[in-house]
Structure formats: C-alpha cells, structure tokens
Amino acid sequence: MTPMNLNTIESQVHARIDAMRAEIIRLTQDMVAYKSVNPRFMPDPENSDETGVQDYLESKLNSLGLPVTRWEAEPRRPNLVGLRAGAGGGKSLAFNGHIDVVPIGDLDGWNHDPWGSDIVDGRLYGRGAVDMKAGIAAFIAATEAIINCDIALNGDLQLHIVVDEEAGGFAGTRDLIARGYRTDGVIVAEPTSGLIDAAEGGLSWLRVTIRGRAAHAGWRFAQIYPQPEADAENSEGVNAIEKGVRFVQAVREFERDWALSRQHPLMPPGITTINPGVIVGGVGLGDDGLPQITSNPAMIPDICVIDFDFKYLPTESFDDVRAEFEAFVSAFAQTDPWLREHPPTLQWHLSNIDFPPFSTAPDHPLIDAARGANRALGIETVLTGKRAVTDAAFYAGAGMTPIILGPAGEGLHGDNEYVELDSLIDTAKVFAGVILRWCGVAEQ
C-alpha cells in the first residue's frame, strides 16, 4: 500500500467518522445510561446492570457483522470479544475497554444526573463517560467506519469489552487472557487526553505482620521504669503496634531513598511509592491474618498488621524489587532486639492484587502507527507514563505489547465526570488510523 493510497483510504474513513458523529455520541450516551457499577462495590450486587450494557453492545457488534464470543467469568458478569478477521499476513491488534464503573458517591456533588448522559457545552456528563465508555465507543466507531468503507484488513482486529477492571480485572481482562486471547499489539482505551501512555509501573499489595507479646496494660509502667525483681515477669509484654509504628517510619525513609535513586523518563519522580494504607493492631492472630481482638486497649497488643500498596518502575522486575525490600526488612529487624528474634513476616500479592509493569519502546511500531495516525490529523504525539494501573498490565504480563490511548475528559472517580465530544471523535479517527497502519489494508 503506497502512502498516497493510505492517505486516500484514511481520508475516506475520517469522513465516514465525521458523518457518524451523532451516532457515536448516541452510542456513548446509551452506554452511560446503564448503571453498570462494579457489583463488588454495591450492597446488593444484583442491582448492577453490567449485563444490560453488554447485551446492548453485543447487539451493536452483531449489527456490524462481527462474530462475538460471550462468556461469564462470574454470574451476571459477561465479557465480549468481537472479531474482524484479517485476510492474513498482517499484525493482529486488540482494543480493550471496561464497562464497569465506580459508584457515583454523594449525589449532592453532581450538577448533572450521573446516568442522564447530559450534553452541555460540548461535554457529555455521566458516570463512566470518560472512564471508559467513550473509549469503547471510539474503537467501535473506528471499526464500523472501516467496515462501512469496505476496507479489508490483513491482520485480525479484536475488540475486548470486559467487566471488573475497577476491582482488579479478575472476572474481566485477566480471565480473558487466561482463556488464550493473544494479539501482537493492544490499545487500552482509557482516558489519556490523546497522549500515549507508553509505560506503566508495577503494583503489588503487600501485608507485613509484626508480632509482639500480649500482656495486661496495667503493667506497662514496668516496661518504662526500673522495677523490683518481683515485677519482672509482669513487664515482658511487647507492644506490636509500637514496633509497627517504627517500621512504618523506616519504610518512609526507604521509600524516599528509592524516589531519589531510581527514575523512568516517562514517569514523575517518586512514583515508586510504598503506601501504608491499612494498619490493624490487636491481640491474637486469626485465620484471616488479622488480630482477633481489636477493641480492648487494656491489653498490650501482640499483633500489628500493615497493608501496603507497593509500586515499582515500568522497567523493574517484581523479583528484583521484592528481594530488595525483603533485604531492607531483614536489616530493619536487626536494629531491634525483639524483632531480631521475631522478624516481620511478608505476604506478597495480597488479595491477588498484582499488576505487572510495562515500558513500550518509543520507537516501537505500534507507537509509530499511532504517530502516523496523529500526523494525519495534525495532532502532536506526546508520550507519557500512566500514574495509576490499568488492564494494560495483564496484557504485558502475558507477553503482549500494550499502549494506553483514549479521549479527554475530567471527573473520573469523582463528581461530574464528563468526556469532551470533539476528543471522542478525534480518538475514533486516531484509532482507525492505527488499525490501518498496524493491521495493514488487504488488496481487493
């Protein structure tokens, strides 16, 4: 395919997308209207309408002539994969988007109905508008425009529309990948304001358990002041919470050292955070890994459990950062006579939260394809890194090459979420341009 042919074909597709503008906006509005809150965040999970939006999208994909594979990793939580089969000889591409959304929070903070899909001043408002139903609408629209222009592709095009991203992807993308879906490249259509997230750090949840020795708090004074020999046996309580506080302070210094000594060109300094998000102290370790008694301050606690959100750089391996942190914990224990004999225990991948990192090279052909698609629209290509974690991690962990690219908007996970409609249309055009360049246009 010559550049002139590509330019001609791409111009036809862009014109088709412009003609579809009202239809693309309506598709986004219709999706937002479904209350597809992730059921893991709901008192009554059956009130989530993930099924409704997936029924709607399955019908949409079928209307385009795309065969759709549908399954439920969990009851009433369907995933969809639409396929535009290629003629052969081209690279395969998948788009990924999730239909589950976070709760709306306090309704009083919203100026628009969270499920109303109101359009005001070029913005479409609603929960999930930009995170990330607009991204799904954009890649469906790009696919539809290519089909309507009667363009055949060399490589396969897959549309992965999943649930559960907001709660870790267990029943969504992780399950999809476990079922064997593989492509040469992946675009996760999370909102990026048109920037390309070419890197994402790794993330694991970590539980550190520090043990002490339980005793009656009435004899705590005997640990502070010298006591007669008769009171010695009553002074042997070891407060695990106090040990835990010292440990958190030490982690803070370790975290700072990491921030000063390691960086990635697309990530902000200090992104390698080790956040102590949950601390529970008490007496007696239960089967759930937490203290059994947490409501009696008259006892010197023998258990302190600290759960960390542990991040590392896109170019680092989990095994390496794990070994480094465990060495730090071991060194910390040596500074305390009690912990030297009773060192903290570590549980990695707490709640099975484990997001592999990725760092796609700036000159990778998938990014080159996005550059070309941007250039055709007069858009500057800017590479950056994702501060949070997304389903792109799981594709990378399975050996695929992802980037993250999507429309502009604000308010995701907050009040008055919206997507900018002009950005929605531009994103559909960029997606179409990437498809043409990456999958290749078949001779007809």
Higher pLDDT among residues 219 and 429, named by residue: 429
Say whether both 12 and 98 belong to one domain.
yes
Say whether both 305 and 390 belong to one domain.
no
The residue out of 354, 386, 404 marking a domain boundary is 354
pLDDT band for 227, please (50, 70, 90 cuts). low
Least Cα distance to 197 among 403, 408, 412, 409 occurs for 403
Give pLDDT tens digits for 240-270. 999 999 999 999 999 999 999 999 999 999 9
Is residue 298 situated within a structural domain? yes
Is residue 295 situated within a structural domain? yes
Q: Looking at 3-12, 25-34, 420-429, which range is the least confident one?
A: 3-12
The residue out of 292, 320, 354 marking a domain boundary is 354
> At residue 108, does pLDDT exceed 90?
yes
Say whether both 427 and 377 belong to one domain.
yes
> At residue 230, does pLDDT exceed 60?
no
Say whether both 131 and 173 belong to one domain.
yes
> Over pLDDT 70: what percentage of the chain?
97
> At residue 134, does pLDDT exceed 80?
yes
pLDDT band for 218, please (50, 70, 90 cuts). confident
Say whether both 24 and 144 belong to one domain.
yes
> At residue 229, does pLDDT exceed 80?
no
pLDDT of residue 386: 96
Q: The domain that contains 127 carries what CATH number?
A: 3.40.630.10
Residues 6+ apart with CB under 8 A from 352: 168, 170
Q: Is the Cβ–Cβ distance between 140 and 74 less than 8 Å?
A: no
Higher pLDDT among residues 81 and 218, named by residue: 81
pLDDT of residue 428: 98
pLDDT band for 2, please (50, 70, 90 cuts). low
The helix or strand, by DSSP H or E, that contains position 222, with its residue range, turns out to be helix 221-224
- C-alpha to C-alpha distance for 154 and 439, rounded to whole angstroms: 6
Q: Which of 10, 58, 100, 144 is catalytic?
A: 100
Say whether both 113 and 133 belong to one domain.
yes
Is residue 38 situated within a structural domain? yes
Is residue 172 situated within a structural domain? yes
> At residue 271, does pLDDT exceed 90?
yes
- C-alpha to C-alpha distance for 236 and 177, rounded to whole angstroms: 53
- Mean of the pLDDT values across residues 38-61? 97
* Cα–Cα distances in angstroms (integers) from residue 84 to residues 67, 397, 439, in the given order: 8, 25, 11
Q: Is the Cβ–Cβ distance between 182 and 400 less than 8 Å?
A: yes
Q: Which of 131, 164, 165, 302 is catalytic?
A: 165
Say whether both 170 and 35 belong to one domain.
yes
pLDDT band for 231, please (50, 70, 90 cuts). low
pLDDT of residue 143: 98
Residues facing residue 84 across a β-bridge: 157
> At residue 378, does pLDDT exceed 60?
yes
pLDDT of residue 37: 98
C-alpha gyration radius of the chain: 26
Say whether both 156 and 252 belong to one domain.
no
Is residue 102 situated within a structural domain? yes
pLDDT band for 47, please (50, 70, 90 cuts). very high
pLDDT of residue 204: 97
Say whether both 120 and 152 belong to one domain.
yes
Is residue 278 situated within a structural domain? yes
pLDDT of residue 443: 85
Residue 325 structure tokens: 């942190």
Domain holding 431, by residue range, is 3-200+357-439
> At residue 233, does pLDDT exceed 60?
no
The residue out of 297, 324, 354 marking a domain boundary is 354
- CA angle at residue 41 from 394 to 398, to 5 degrees? 5
The verdict on whether 165 is a catalytic residue reads yes
Q: How many CB atoms are located within 10 Å of the residue 220 CB?
A: 14
Give the global pTM: 0.94
> At residue 232, does pLDDT exceed 60?
no
Q: Is the Cβ–Cβ distance between 275 and 206 less than 8 Å?
A: no
pLDDT of residue 222: 76
- Mean of the pLDDT values across residues 62-81? 98
Is residue 182 situated within a structural domain? yes
Q: The domain that contains 272 carries what CATH number?
A: 3.30.70.360
The verdict on whether 302 is a catalytic residue reads no
Say whether both 396 and 305 belong to one domain.
no
Is residue 444 situated within a structural domain? no
- Mean of the pLDDT values across residues 370-399? 97
- Mean of the pLDDT values across residues 141-164? 98
pLDDT of residue 277: 97
Say whether both 293 and 362 belong to one domain.
no
Count how many domains the chain has: 2
Say whether both 290 and 416 belong to one domain.
no
pLDDT of residue 220: 84
> At residue 366, does pLDDT exceed 60?
yes
Give pLDDT tens digits for 299-356. 999 999 999 999 999 999 999 999 999 999 999 999 999 999 999 999 999 999 999 9
> At residue 189, does pLDDT exceed 80?
yes
